[in-house]
């Protein structure tokens, strides 16, 4: 039988072999005629009717086989399963085996019964001749080969042995190698053909897969022979070069594809020579990779793989999208996304390149501008409106930019301008006036007209010694001077400003040292019940007494700490000192500590508070933490999560300076607050301005409706206190009316004094005894 491999290919090959068994019917008819003629001739010679029966049997067998073949013709072999193939193979076997058996019996009969030399010779000859058909026609079925040989040879073998003639026995034994040889030949032919067909099919499959893979590549491909002629190319190459599908490029030069690309508009005709030269470098192995710009901003990246004397493989792809993406990334890396101006790093490179073209004696300038009161725009109109204003300013500035004037935005509302040619102060005045006019003036933002003024600072330097960082520092100092002098102006850096800068830097170093050594002190401003009968707690306020210059205002050193990034260290010191002091206060007094926006930028503040409470053993309920609206601008959701964690530990959360920002009311609902500290601006004119009182009462009512206690800050006069008491506007009072910030020991003394008088039932004029310390 054929191989029983169940793969689709093996099954198809086996079916083809079975089909071969049912073909060549002319040879089948010729064989039948030869057999009948031989049997008839023997009959004429011997007059033995047995041979006529043999001839008749051959005719019947032939007719039956023809009937099966016609039935096979009517079958739809395209739907054959392996079982159908095996069935028709076995149906075929019966006919040739029956014919071989008739021949074998006729030989045995001639040897044993007839004993006629012609009958013996004729029957043996026709039988052995029929064995040829085993190899030539019936090799397609292993079982057919085996059964035909056995059917023909076994009767003949039996006839030889029955004669008991030693010579006949030798002939009988010689039938065995005949059987094996014939069987081996037939099987060899079948296996050889099977393996050959399978190999061809696999080769065809590999070729088909290669063709599919080649024509579905995202890259174009040209395979060139040693003479530079195209041997193989794929559909992507045809698509990229827009080559007519009907045109076969094989055995054509690569230059033909380039010329067709130029004709079809894929590459400029004037660039054909240059592109051909670059590709020639790839083909000769002088380069391995080349990025070439074609027409319509199309970029192709070529890669070559040399095949020795056999030629080269040229692979290419359209990388236009990647190039555009890289240009976009480069744009993002070099330019400010909001304004489109050069960012700091790219500006530095542009300035360095421009300075390299200056003469050593040339004078250059660096100016720093910012918008006056820009924070007010953000606070009143929102940051989106602020961003739009910055974009409008940048658009005006961009019109002033050319080779000698380079412009950048370093961040916020800070614009930096480099002037490459400033021969004298008159030229500087003209340039600064030009930039100021461009930036200042009216702007239409979200339907509102804003009149913007700008302040600037500028530093001059010889081109030979110009250092961007140093010039920026000096320009910043000049800008600070302009702002100090009522803004809406510009200042030129002078050396006296440098002294101030040096002093400022020293102040920074001293502040860092003071915070790291925890030499800062704390003052406590008491917080009373509205009637002044009891001190409920105090707000901790940092104080710095400089060892050389004396007290430094918090308005000076706190912004410095924020600028230096050490404000969180200051907060940590304040929390530890305040908690340590609060433990020594009379029971149930709380201490309130302010947190900055920097403190709430990460969850580290939670660990700082937890460690301090655990270290000093203070109940969390006695610690209040105050935040301002500025801490919520960047990431209110993150701040909310931090505050919820702190409040969940029993700590009281208060919003400080309430009412000074544009979105305060939304924060009352959004944040996990316990208290609202209303800013002193609500109280300042409360006795004279009834609108202020109504506004205050509304805020207090809203806060209490939300379950929040109200703390009024900045209460300084008896009249203000009387109005607050009359209208029940406060749960707690903080202000000079009851006490100024004081040292820790003075606060403890005040607590004891107020507590003892309250216990004795004495009516205490607290405001008279404690005001301003």
Give the residue among 469, 449, 451 at the shortest CA–CA distance from 459: 469
Distance of CA 213 to the CA centre of its chain: 28
Residue 9 pLDDT: 56
Q: Which of 269, 281, 295, 398 is nearest to 342 (CA)?
A: 398
Q: What is the pLDDT of residue 245?
A: 72
Residues contacting 125, CB < 8 A, separation 6+: none
- Beta partners for residue 299, in sequence order: 293
Q: How far apart are CA 145 and CA 715, in angstroms?
A: 120
Paired tokens of 586? 């009379």
- Contact, 179 vs 149, CB < 8 A? yes
Q: Which residues pair with 733 in a beta bridge?
A: 528, 712
| Rounded Cα–Cα distance for residues 89 and 561 (Å) | 98
Overall size of the chain counted in residues: 773
CA distances from 567 to 263, 345, 519, 633, 743 (A): 69, 27, 15, 18, 22
CA–CA gap between residue 260 and residue 346 (Å, rounded): 42
Please give the helix or strand (H or E) that residue 376 lies within, else none. Answer: helix 374-381
Distance separating alpha carbons of residues 374 and 435, to the nearest angstrom: 18
Q: Which long-range contacts (CB under 8 A, 24 or more apart) does 43-49 make?
A: 45/116, 45/118, 45/119, 46/114, 46/116, 46/118, 46/119, 48/113, 48/114, 48/119
d(CA 761, CA 530) in angstroms, rounded, equals: 17
- pLDDT reported for residue 767: 44
Q: Which residue has the tokens 């014919």?
A: 99
Please work out, in degrees rounded to the nearest 5, the angle formed at the alpha carbon of residue 353 by the alpha carbons of 348 and 358: 120
pTM: predicted TM-score of the whole model, two decimal places:
0.47
Strand partners, 363: 462
Please tell me the distance from the alpha carbon of residue 712 to that of residue 736, in angstroms, as a whole number: 12
pLDDT at 192 (0 to 100): 65
pLDDT score of 139: 62
**What single DSSP character describes residue 585?**
S
Q: Please give the order of strands across the beta sheet that includes 312-318.
A: 230-233, 220-224, 312-318, 299-306, 289-293
335-493: which CATH number, 3.40.120.10, 3.90.1260.10, 3.30.530.20, 3.30.70.270? 3.30.70.270
- Nearest CA to 623 out of 594, 596, 661, 602 is that of 594
The pair phi, psi for residue 457, each rounded to 5°, is -135, 145
Q: What is the pLDDT of residue 194?
A: 65
pLDDT for the residue numbered 690: 85
> How many CB atoms sit inside 10 A of residue 434's CB?
12
CA distance 500 to 334: 34
Residue with tokens 């555009």: 324
Q: How many CB atoms lie within 10 A of CB 331?
A: 12
- Ranges of the chain whose pLDDT falls below 50: 1-2, 4-6, 662-663, 763-773
Non-local CB neighbours of 751 within 8 Å, separated by 6+ positions: 526, 535, 585, 586, 589
For residue 224, the cross-strand partners are 230, 312
Q: Could you read off the pLDDT of 622-658 as tens digits, one per residue?
A: 999 998 877 666 677 888 899 999 999 999 999 988 8
* Contact between residue 350 and residue 454 where contact means Cβ atoms under 8 Å apart: no
Residue 656 DSSP SS3? strand
pLDDT for residue 583? 95
Q: What is the pLDDT of residue 137?
A: 60
Which fold does the domain 510-751 belong to in CATH? TIM Barrel (3.20.20)
Domain covering 220-324: architecture: 2-Layer Sandwich (3.30)
Question: What distance lies between CA 407 and its chain's CA centroid?
Answer: 33
pLDDT at 622: 95
CA neighbor of 677 nearest in space, from 604, 751, 595: 595
Specify the pLDDT at position 641. Answer: 92
Which pLDDT score, from 0 to 100, does residue 415 have? 94
- 460-487 pLDDT, tens digit per residue, is 999 888 888 889 988 998 998 888 777 8
Beta strands in 307-453 (DSSP E): 312-318, 363-371, 405-411, 414-419, 441-445, 448-452
The two three-digit tokens of residue 490, written as one number: 């510009």
The Cα 640–Cα 637 span in angstroms is 5
DSSP 681: G
> On the CB side of 113, how many CA atoms lie within 13 Å of its CA?
15
The DSSP secondary-structure symbol of 586 reads: P
């Amino acid at each position: 039988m054929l191989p029983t491999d169940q793969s689709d290919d093996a099954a198809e090959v086996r079916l083809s072999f079975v089909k071969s068994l049912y073909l060549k019917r002319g040879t089948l008819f010729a064989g039948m005629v030869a057999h009948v003629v031989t049997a008839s001739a023997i009959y004429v010679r011997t007059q033995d009717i047995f041979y006529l029966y043999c001839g008749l049997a051959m005719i019947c067998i032939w007719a039956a086989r023809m009937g099966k073949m016609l039935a096979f013709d009517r079958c739809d072999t395209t739907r054959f399963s392996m079982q159908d193939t095996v069935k028709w193979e076995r149906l075929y076997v019966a006919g040739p085996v029956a014919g071989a058996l008739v021949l074998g019996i006729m030989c045995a009969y001639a040897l044993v019964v007839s004993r006629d030399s012609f009958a013996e010779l004729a029957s043996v000859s026709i039988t052995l001749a029929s064995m040829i058909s085993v190899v030539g026609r019936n090799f397609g079925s292993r079982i057919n080969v085996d059964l035909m040989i056995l059917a023909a040879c076994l009767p003949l073998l039996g006839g030889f042995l029955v004669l008991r003639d030693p010579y006949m026995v030798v002939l009988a034994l010689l039938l065995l190698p005949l059987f094996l040889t014939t069987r081996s030949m037939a099987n060899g032919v079948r296996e050889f053909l099977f393996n050959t067909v399978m190999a061809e099919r696999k080769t065809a499959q590999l070729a088909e897969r290669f063709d599919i893979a080649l024509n579905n590549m995202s890259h174009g491909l040209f395979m060139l022979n040693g003479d530079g002629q195209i041997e193989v190319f794929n559909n992507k190459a045809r698509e990229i070069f827009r080559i007519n599908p009907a045109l076969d490029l094989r055995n054509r030069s690569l230059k033909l594809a380039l010329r067709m690309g130029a004709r079809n508009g894929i590459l400029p005709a004037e660039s054909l020579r240059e592109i051909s030269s670059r590709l020639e470098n790839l083909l000769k192995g002088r380069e391995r990779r080349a990025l070439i710009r074609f027409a319509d901003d199309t970029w192709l990246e070529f890669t070559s793989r040399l095949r020795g004397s056999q030629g080269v493989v040229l692979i290419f792809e359209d990388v236009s999208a990647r190039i555009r993406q890289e240009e976009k990334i480069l744009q993002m890396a070099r330019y400010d996304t909001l304004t489109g101006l050069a960012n700091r790093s790219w500006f530095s490179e542009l300035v360095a390149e421009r300075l390299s073209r200056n003469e050593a004696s040339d004078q250059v300038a660096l100016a720093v501008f910012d918008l006056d009161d820009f924070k007010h725009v953000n606070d009143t109109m929102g940051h989106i409106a602020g961003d739009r204003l910055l974009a409008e300013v940048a658009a005006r500035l961009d019109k002033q930019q050319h080779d000698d004037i380079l412009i950048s935005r370093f961040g916020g509302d800070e614009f930096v301008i480099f002037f490459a040619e400033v021969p004298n102060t008159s030229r500087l005045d003209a340039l600064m006036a030009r930039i100021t006019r461009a930036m200042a003036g009216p702007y239409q933002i979200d339907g509102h007209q804003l009149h913007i003024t700008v302040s600037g600072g500028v530093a001059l330097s010889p081109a030979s010694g110009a250092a961007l960082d140093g010039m920026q520092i000096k320009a910043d100092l000049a800008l600070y001077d302009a702002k100090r002098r009522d803004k809406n102006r510009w200042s030129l850096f002078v050396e006296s400003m440098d002294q101030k800068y040096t002093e400022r830097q020293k102040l920074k170093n001293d502040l860092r040292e003071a915070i790291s050594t925890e030499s800062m002190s704390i003052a406590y401003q008491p917080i009373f019940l509205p009637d002044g009968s009891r001190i409920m707690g105090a707000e901790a306020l940092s104080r710095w007494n400089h060892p050389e210059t004396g007290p430094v205002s918090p308005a000076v050193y706190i912004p410095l700490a924020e600028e230096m990034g050490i404000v969180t260290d200051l907060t940590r010191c304040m929390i530890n000192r305040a908690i340590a002091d609060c433990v020594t206060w009379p029971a149930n007094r709380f201490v309130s500590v302010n947190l900055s926006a920097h403190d709430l930028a990460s969850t580290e503040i939670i660990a700082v508070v937890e460690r301090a409470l655990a270290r000093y053993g203070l109940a969390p309920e006695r610690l209040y933490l105050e935040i301002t609206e500025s801490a919520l601008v960047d990431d209110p959701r993150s701040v909310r999560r931090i505050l919820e964690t702190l409040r969940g530990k029993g700590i009281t959360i208060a919003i400080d300076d309430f009412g000074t920002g544009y979105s305060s009311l939304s924060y009352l609902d959004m944040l996990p607050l316990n208290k609202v500290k209303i800013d002193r601006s609500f109280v300042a004119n409360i006795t004279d301005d009834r609108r202020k009182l109504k506004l205050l009462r509304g805020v207090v009512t809203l806060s209490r409706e939300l379950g929040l206690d109200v703390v009024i800050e900045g209460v300084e006069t008896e009249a203000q206190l009387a109005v607050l008491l009359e209208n029940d506007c406060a749960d707690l009072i903080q202000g000079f009316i009851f006490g100024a910030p004081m040292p820790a020991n003075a606060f403890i003394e005040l607590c004891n004094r107020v507590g003892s008088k309250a216990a004795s039932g004495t009516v205490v004029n607290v405001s008279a005894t404690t005001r301003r310390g």
